[in-house]
Each structure stands twice: as C-alpha cells, then as structure tokens.
Amino acid sequence: MNSAERGTLYIISAPSGTGKSTIVSELLRSDPNIYFSISATTRQPREGETDGVDYYFIKREEFLKLVDSGGMLEHAEFCGNLYGTPRKAVYDKLDEGHDVILEIETVGAMSVKAVCPEAVSIFILPPSLSELRNRLTARATDSDETISRRIAEARPEIEKSRGYDFIIVNDSLEAAVEQAKTVMKAAKRMTKLNYDTIEGVLRKC
Ligand code: ADP
Ligand code: 5GP
C-alpha cells in the first residue's frame, strides 16, 4: 500500500485543560474518515465519561499485562495514573485508509515518534498558564489537588512542544479548530509522507 492510500497518524498533545478534547471532538465531527484512538487508563472515569468511548478504564494489573504482551503502541504515567494506546486498532485503521488521532501526553508522543517517524505531531498551547488554571477550574472535573498537579506538569510539557511539527494556540476555540484542520491538510503534503510519490516519478521515463 502506498502513502496515498494509507491513513495519516496525528499525535495531538497539550497540557491538561488546554482544550485538546474539545478541539478533537470538533475535528471528529467534521471528518468521518478520522478515527480517534481510544486509550486505556487506570484513572477513575470523570462524570460524563463512558467506558469504551472516552477511554477503556481498566485496573493497573490488566494495564501492565497489556504492556507485557506487546498490546500497547506506547504508554506513560501521568499524575499518578497509567495511560496507553492499544496498538492493533491504530494499525488496522491506518491500513484501512483512515486518519488516526492519538490524544496523548509528551512522553508517549516521543515513543510514538521513535517507532512511527511518519506520525505528524501537533502541540496545542494555552494562551497562558493562568488561563489554563481558569479552564481546569471551570471544567470542574478535578479536585484542587489534581488541578495543582496538572498545572505543575504544564510547564515541562510546554517545554517539550519545541519538538513537535506544529504549534497551535487555543485562545479562540473556533480559530484553533480551523488551524488544526489547515495543519492536518497541509501535513498530507509533508515530504516524509510522500517518498513513494517521488520514487514513482523517478521510475517513469
Ligand atoms: P483537555 O482535553 O486539554 O484537558 P478540555 O477539552 O477538557 O481540555 O477543555 C478544558 C475546559 O476548557 C473545558 O471546560 C472546555 O470547555 C474549555 N475550553 C476549551 N477550549 C476553550 C477556549 N478556546 N476558550 C475557553 N474555554 C475553552
Ligand atoms: P486526562 O486524565 O486529562 O484524560 O489525560 C491526562 C493526560 O494523559 C493528557 O495529556 C492526555 O492527552 C494523556 N493521555 C491520554 N491517553 C493517553 C495515552 O494513551 N497515552 C499517553 N501517553 N497519554 C495519554
């Protein structure tokens, strides 16, 4: 299968509370060809989250068994909980020609880049750290202690944004969604995703 038929793998990262889930929901709504990779996690479900839709909520032992059996494309610990990307669904969907979004933190993102260099990485920045705190507080899904842990993680996560292919600031939600769509379209023309096209032309007389 050449790169034109295979789907594109997108990695989307952002500090917790930036709005990445909100942006990803909009992207999924606007393009039925995109498959959202449902991660496994040991964290407790938040109100309104559904098992098998938002995450596979599993126990730590089950998670570690999946890792040991090679079932995870990547995994990482974040704020005391384990998160991981089930491998098979990602590769199946890409092979079927679907684009796939991984909504994952920076350690996992780097692991995916190491095994899938063709993955396109997008980092979403909050307008400021104080606005990040406002959003986490307004979302009202986490305790004060959890919010503080997530804010503390934000700065080192943002430092790692330098290694991403694209940066988007989520100030106006509408503008951020439009920029994400533009970047995802442009990414399809990145040289690293089009080596087959170059070879094809060189093969022609
Ligand atoms: P993340 O997935 O990055 O943790 P969420 O998508 O849950 O973040 O968004 C965190 C909160 O911020 C939610 O209450 C969401 O409605 C809100 N939000 C998202 N984008 C914006 C924005 N551009 N301006 C203001 N609030 C936003
Ligand atoms: P939350 O608890 O807010 O849903 O997620 C916390 C962090 O874990 C976010 O940065 C989110 O992107 C990340 N995350 C979610 N799923 C995965 C995953 O499968 N792997 C990794 N490495 N991080 C994930």
**CATH number, domain containing residue 192:** 3.40.50.300
Cα 132 to middle of ligand 1, angstroms: 9
Q: Which residue bears the tokens 């705190």?
A: 133
Confidence of residue 5 (pLDDT cuts 50, 70, 90): confident
pLDDT digits (tens, 9 = 90+) for 52-80: 999 999 999 999 999 999 999 999 999 99
pLDDT digits (tens, 9 = 90+) for 143-202: 999 999 999 999 999 999 999 999 999 999 999 999 999 999 999 999 999 999 999 999
The answer to whether residue 80 sits within a structural domain is no
pLDDT number for residue 2? 47
Half-sphere exposure of 2 (CA within 13 A, CB side): 8
Residues spanned by the domain of 159: 9-37+99-203
Distance CA 13, CA 166 (A): 11
Q: Provide the number of structural domains found in the chain.
A: 1
pTM, two decimals, is 0.96
Mutate to test the pocket of ligand 2, among 10, 39, 164, 170 (most ligand atoms within 8 A of CB): 39
pLDDT number for residue 205? 83
Q: Is 170 in the pocket of ligand 1 (CB under 6 A)?
A: yes
